[in-house]
Structure 1
Amino acid sequence: MSAALSGEDRAESIRMIRDSAAAVAPPGGDMKRVRDLRFQTPGFDPAVLRQMGEMGWIGLRLPEAAGGAGLGLGEACALAEELGAALVPEPLIPAMLTGSLLAAVGAGPLDRVLSGEALVLTAWQERPDTLDVPGSPDAPRRFLPMAAGAASFLLPVREGGRIALYEQQAGAGLTTEQTQDGGHLGTLEPSLATATRIADDIGEALSLALDEAALLTSAYLLGGMDRAFAMTLDYLKTRQQFGRIIGTFQALQHKAADVRMQIALTRASIEAAAATLDDGATGDARRAVISRAKARAAASSMLVTRECIQLHGGIGYTDQYDVGLYLRKAMVMANLYGSAALHRRRFMAVSPEVEE
C-alpha cells in the first residue's frame, strides 16, 4: 500500500508511525525500564511485545490479506529508528522477520506471531558474519537475540536444491550468553526428529526477509546514534570547565561537526534505501542499497557512540550515565545481519556503480 502513496501522503504516514512509537518509546526514552531489564531473563517485557503486536507493528510490512498493515519500508525504518533512540529491548525486528516468512508460506503460527502472543525466532545462522543460509540439519544455530523468551524456533533446512522450514518448540538444546547491552544471544541445537515441517521451499522469502532485517537494524542503529548525539550536545551546552561552557571550545566543536555529518550521511543512506525498495527495486539493485545503508550504519554507530563517550569526558565511561548504554547497544547490534565489512564486500560485488 505504501508504494502507491503520494510523496505528501507517505510523509504523513511516516509521521504517524513515529508518533505511535511514543506508546513504547517515549521521547527521551525510558532508561529506568531499559536498566531494569538488563541482565535479566528473558531481557524484555512480553507484555510490551504483545502491545507491539496489538499496534500492528510486527505485521507492519505484510499485506492486509495476511493480517498485516501493508505499509512500506519507509514507515518500518521510521519505527525502528524511534525504538533505537529509546533502546527498546523487545526483539521486534526478529519477530518481523519470522512474520514475513510465515506469511510467505501461509503456514505455521502466524497469528500468534503477529499478535505478539508468542516470540518465534528464525534460527538461520550457523557461523559469524554471514547472510548465507547453509541449512545444515544438525548444525547449531547461533546468534539468536533474546532466545530465552522464545516459544519456538523456525529452522531452515536444506533438502536437495531447496530450503524447507521446520518449527521446533523451545526447550532442551538452547544455551544463552549475555551480551554487552544486558541482553543475550542464544545457540540452538536442532532436533528435527521432534520438529514440525511447515514449508517446502522458503529460500527466496528468507533472503528477502534477511535483507529487510538488515535495513531495519540500520535504522535502529541510526536512532541510537542520533539520540546519543543529542544527549552529548545538551552536555556540551551546560558543562563548564575553566570558567567556560565546553561547547565553546573549538576542538570539541570540530568533533561534534564530524559526528553530525556521520549521522546525516547514515540517515540519507537509509532513507534512500527504503525509498528505492518501496519503489520496487529487486535483485542486485535491492541488495546494493541495503548493503550501502547497513555498512554505513554499522560503522557510523560505533564511531558516533564512541565519540559521544569521549565528548562527555570521564562521566561518559560510567555505567550509571545513560550515554554509555548507546555504545553498548551499538556493539551488539552493529554486526547483526552482517557487519560493515560484509556489506561493503557485497556492495562492491553487486553495485552497478562500481567498476570492475
Structure 2
Amino acid sequence: MHDVDLAERRERVTMLRDSAAALVPADGDLRRVRAWRFAGNGLDAQAWALVCEMGWPGLRLAEEQGGSGLGLCEYVALLEELGKGLAPEPLNEVACLVSLLPAEWREPVLRGERLVLPGHGAGLVADHQGRLLGQAKVSLGKAAHGWLLMNEDSAWLVDAQGLEGQALATQDGGHVLALALNGVPAQRLASSPEQLRRVRDEAALGVAAYLLGCMQGAFARTLDYLKVRKQFGREIGSFQALQHRMVDLHIQIELSRALVEETAACLDRSVAPGEAQRRIYATRVQAGDAALRVCREAIQLHGAIGYTDEADIGLFLRRVLVAASAWGTQGGYRQGYARLIAEEAFNG
C-alpha cells in the first residue's frame, strides 16, 4: 500500500509540475513578467483567474472546505516550477492563509472572485469596539479586496474597500502597501497561535521552494550563455575557472533542493512542532543564501551585459531580493534556528 501511495504522489507531483507551463513558458520567455513590472496594481488578473481555475490556491486546503487536500511535497514542487519562470502571482500568500478565512470569504477567494493577501503588522491591537490600530505592510496590497493582518498570536480580516495606504515600489516591479490603521473595522479570526505558526512555517517553506526555482532558472540561463559566448576564439564555458564556479553553484542548488524536499516530506509525516520549525528555519536560510549567491554570480558570469535592465538574468536577482524577505528575513530565520538549537541543548 505504501508503494502505491508513493507512486500516486509522484504522479501528482509530475502533473503539477507540468501544469505550471500555463504560467511558465517552456522556452523561458519572460515578456509577461516584464510587462507587469510597475504596472497597475501589480496583479495580472487573467493569469490569476487561471491560477484559481486550476485550483492551486486550494491545494493545501482540506477537501471538506473546498480544497484538494494535497501535501507539502506536491505544493513545493509547484512553487519550484513557478519560481523558474519568476511567476509574480501571490500563490504562496493566498494558499497558506485560505484555511484561516471564514466561509463567506474563503469560497469567493478560491473561485478567484476575491483576493485576500496577508500583512504583517507592528503594534497591531484591537480596541474595545473591535477596531484595529497599528501599522502593517501587505505585498501587492493594492490588488486585494481584503487583508489578513497578523501578529504573533492573532489575526484580523480587514475589508480593503475604501481604504488606502502608501504603495512602495519593490525592486522586482511590484509594491508593498504600507498601512496606518487608525480604528479600522476588522474581524478577528478564530485562529490559535499554533495555527498561525503553522501558516507562517508552511509559507516560509513555500518561499524556499520558490527561491529554489529562481536559482534553477538563473543557473540554466547562465549555462546556456556560457555555451555560446566566445572569447579568444573559444566558448567561455570551456574555461576551467568558470566551470568550477558553475559546479559550486550547482552544489548549492542541489543542497537547497534536498532540504526543501526532505522538509516537505517530514512535515507531511507530522513530525513534532519543534523539529518541524528547526527544519523549516534551516531550509529557509539555505535557500535564501543560495538563491542570492547563484543569482549574483549568474549576473557576473554574463559580464557587463548582465548588469543592464535589458538582460533577463537581472530579473532573477531582483525577484530573489524581494522574495527572500517574504514571511521573515534571513537574519530572523538564523536567529530562530539558533534559539531552537539552544533550547534543545538546554532541555536535552
Please, what TM-score do these two structures have when normalized by structure 1?
A: 0.89
The alpha-carbon deviation at position 190 of structure 1 amounts to 2.6
Show the counterpart of 2:129: none
State how far apart, in whole Å, the 1-side matches of 2:202 and 2:344 are: 23
Residue 354 of structure 1 deviates from its aligned partner by 6.9
Identity %: 41
- Displacement of 1:207: 1.5
Deviations 1:171-197 (A, max 9, x none): 3331111111111111122354533x2
- Summarize the Cα distance change of 1:150–1:8 in structure 2 as closer, same or farther, 3 Å threshold: same
Match of 1:220 in 2: 210
Residue in 2 that maps onto 1:149: 143
The residue aligned with 1:32 is 31
Q: Deviations over 1:261-296 (max 9, x none)?
A: 110101111011100001112311110111111101
Asked whether 1:113 is paired with 2:112, we answer no
Distance 1:305 1:63 in 2: 36
Report the CA distance shift for 1:65/1:187 in structure 2 as closer, same or farther (over 3 A). same
- Give per-residue Cα distances to partners, 1:10-62, cap 9 Å, x unaligned: 11111111011111222233311111110112112112112111111001001
Aligned to 1:140: 135
Q: Where in structure 1 do 4 or more consecutive aligned residues deviate above 6 Å?
A: none
One-letter code of the match for 1:341? Answer: G
Change (3 A) 1:99 1:164: closer
Q: Structure 1: any 5+ residue segments left out of the alignment?
A: 128-133
Rounded to whole Å, the distance in 1 between the matches of 2:238 and 2:29 is 30
Q: Which residue of 2 aligns with 1:341?
A: 331
Question: Residues 153 and 170 of structure 1 are in contact (CA less than 8 Å); yes or no, is this contact kept in structure 2?
Answer: no
| RMSD over aligned Cα atoms | 2.2
Give distance in 1, aligned partners of 2:188 and 2:332.
31
Aligned residues: 340
Matched, 1:194 2:193: no
AA aligned opposite 1:273: T
Structure 1 residues 259 and 216, CA gap change in structure 2 (3 angstroms): same
Task: Name structure 2 gaps, 5 residues minimum.
Answer: 127-131
Q: Does the alignment pair 1:296 with 2:286?
A: yes
Any idea what SS the aligned residue of 1:125 has? strand
Identify the range of structure 1 (333-342 vs 4-13) with the bigger mean alpha-carbon deviation: 4-13
Structure 2 CA distance for partners of 1:205 and 1:311, relative to 1, 3 Å: same
- Aligned residues of 1:58 and 1:95 also touching (Cα < 8 A): yes
Distance in 1 (alpha carbons) for counterparts of 2:155 and 2:313? 43
Q: TM-score, normalised by structure 2?
A: 0.91
2:89 and 2:163 map into 1 onto residues whose CA distance is 23
Partner of 2:44: 45
Residue of structure 1 in register with 2:270 after alignment? 280
Matches within 5 A, 1:98-109: 98-102=97-101, 106-109=102-105
SS at match of 1:320: coil
Change over 3 Å in CA distance of 1:353–1:10 after alignment to 2: farther
Is this contact kept in 2: 1:285–1:351, CA < 8 A?
no
What aligned pairs does 1:1-356 form with structure 2 within 5 A after superposition? 6-102=5-101, 106-126=102-122, 135=125, 137-142=132-137, 144-156=138-150, 163=154, 165-195=156-186, 197=187, 199-351=189-341, 355=345
Q: Distance in 2 between matches of 1:310 and 1:5?
A: 46
